Amino acid sequence: MKPRVNMHATAPYVHSVMTVFDAAACEGLEPALVELVRVRASQLNGCAFCRGLHTRAALAAGEDPRRLDALSAWRESPLFTEAERAALALTESVTLIAEKGVPDEVLDAAAEHFDDTELVHLLWTIAAINAWNRIGVATAAGGVALR
């Protein structure tokens, strides 16, 4: 599919503000966790561009390729910590929010592993990657620099 529009070239100010927002959203969170969240949301949203970008970023940050291979089946895999599982469950609930919202038990489980500041940053990180995914899918961004 041919890219539809270059978001950066067409609206550079909005793009730069989104880039700053994305960086601020994940402040204070472990980089490996951030990349797991970004990859998982990108898998769910079908954004190949972001999935590839964040898979490469995770590998560059030292993430184990086996964990990335198992990410789509994280519930069945022993490779993820309880905190990562809580973050991934929250990622899925927020990403698929129209299906059943964010159940209390999902948010409560995340709150057991992340303090209020970390939890809010995790939520903003999930929101940011979902925004990037939607732009990536809407513009057929394969190969077009979104960030």
* pLDDT over threshold 90, residue 139: no
Own/partner long-range contacts of 17-23 (Cβ < 8 Å, ≥24 apart): 18/128, 18/131, 18/132, 19/147, 21/124, 21/128, 22/128, 22/129, 22/132, 22/147
Q: Distances from the Cα of 15 to the Cαs of 9, 23, 135, in angstroms?
A: 9, 12, 11
Quick one: pLDDT at residue 142? Answer: 56
Residue 119 vs residue 49, higher pLDDT:
119
Segment 59-83 mean pLDDT: 97
The 10s digit of each residue's pLDDT in 5-40 is: 888 888 999 999 999 999 999 999 999 999 999 999
pLDDT at 1: 60
* pLDDT tops 80 at residue 147: no
Q: pLDDT tens digit string along 100-116?
A: 999 999 999 999 999 99
Rounded mean pLDDT, 122-131: 98
